[in-house]
Amino acid sequence: MTDLLLAATSLDVTPPPGHRLDGYAARTAPATGAADPLRATIIWLSTADDPGVLWLTLDAIAVGKQLTTELAAAAAKVAGIPPANVVVSASHTHSAPSGWTGQIHPVIPAEREPVLYEALTASIANATLERRPVTASWRSIEVIGVGTNRHRQNGPHDNTAGILALHSLEGALEAILLDFACHPTTHGPENLQYSADWPGAARAALAPAVVGYLQGAAGDVSPRFTRQGRGAVEVARLGGLLASRVREALAGPGLELPQSAPVIRRTTISLPVRDLPSADDRASAVATAERSLRDGVDDPSARIAQTRLDGARGQALMAAASLPETLDLPVSVVTMGDVCWVNLPVELFALHGACLQADSTHPITRVIGYTDGYYGYIVDPSAADSGAYEALITFFDQPTTNRLLSETAAFVNS
């Protein structure tokens, strides 16, 4: 029998203070330190004669095209496999440096900082990967209380966590590839410390297993209605809640997966960038959003009003940015037995994740965003009709969004 081999490691890649944090336009000062470490985690599954798939997960707002290329090349060289077998995913924490990937959207201008991305790439290039035989099993479990739809509490949200558990032949839990859908935004714009947010807290609570975190269809999902405060205490509470549910799932039997290496397939989907509203319409949207503000209030409705203003102002920045006519989106599918991970470089809404799962012919399908690049939000019809923040700054109109979903579904099932 061919042994399934695992190499897993988690690297502390926290930068020094003094660099700009990403995720909130309202931030005006650089990082002062770290609330908890930012990590790059490698989980590589292969066999002696098959390179398999290496997942590189990073505590970052996003992994842009250039950073993805650099990190994939570094990880591939260490593992001795082709870069095409490396999947690079961001957790989407809003408390990581902008200088790793640079500007991800005209709404928040940023520049790549060589001192940051070169150090990050060097950390990956110097990683030690030792493969050992493991068994793989699959579980999923419902998680209530970490996140909900951030526009309406009872709106769409896949509240299941997907758990790929990797045990040594002696039965010890070696690593977990965990996916869940929710913005890591427990820390707000007032926070000036690096933090992996609640995914990092969940990862720490599941130690000593190495945990790679994959962010799901979280474009319209966050802790907006579930968090009981801001800061480290709430980060630990939400992360601990997720970790406790993962431990419950691991205590029971799972679906045993084959000992063969996972398989990856890739494609590129080219999409037209939408036409932006006229200057008059953009100005009207800003004026309308400004009238809805409630100064000094920090509750879900106030946050929705503030983000809508951010989006309205963001359209002006998009108009000034000379956007390209088309964008090329890398899409990949990883399969391992009955489990299929669909990876896209966008912030999918929950409805889109549900559609891709429903259309998939695979018994178990997990939809992952923020992977191998970043091309902003794709929004559902209700967000487009209501002029939600994400709809104001998306690169894609509804027909193009539908095209992305249909072409992705066709590729998944091909």
Q: What is the DSSP string of 138-202?
A: EEEEE--SS-EESSSTTS----EEEEEEEEETTS-EEEEEEEE-----SS-TT--EE--HHHHHH
Which is it for strands 50-58 and 39-47: parallel, antiparallel or unpaired? antiparallel
The pLDDT value recorded for residue 296 is: 64
pTM of the model: 0.94
The pLDDT value recorded for residue 1 is: 52
Helix (H, G, I), strand (E, B) or coil at 24: coil
Residue 154 makes CB contacts below 8 A (sequence gap 6+) with 148
Q: Which two tokens stand for residue 156?
A: 């769409």
Q: Residue 104: what are its φ and ψ, rounded to 5°?
A: -100, -15
Provide the H-helix boundaries in 252-327: 279-291, 300-319
The pLDDT value recorded for residue 99 is: 98
The pLDDT value recorded for residue 297 is: 63
Domain range summary for the chain, segments of one domain joined by + = 1-274+323-414, 277-320
The pLDDT value recorded for residue 316 is: 83
Q: For 331, left (φ over 0), alpha (ψ -120 to 50), or beta?
A: beta
DSSP state for residue 377 in the 8-state scheme: B
Query: From first to last of its 414 residues, what are the pLDDT tens digits of the chain?
Result: 579 999 999 999 999 999 999 999 889 899 999 999 999 999 999 999 999 999 999 999 999 999 999 999 999 999 999 999 999 999 999 999 999 999 999 988 899 999 999 999 999 999 999 999 999 999 999 999 999 999 988 999 999 999 999 999 999 999 999 999 999 999 999 999 999 999 999 999 999 999 999 999 999 999 999 999 999 999 999 999 999 999 999 999 999 999 999 999 999 999 999 998 887 877 777 777 777 776 666 677 777 777 777 777 888 888 888 899 999 999 999 999 999 999 999 999 999 999 999 999 999 999 999 999 999 999 999 999 988 889 899 999 999 999 999 999 999 999
Q: How far apart are CA 71 and CA 284, in angstroms?
A: 42
The pLDDT value recorded for residue 214 is: 98
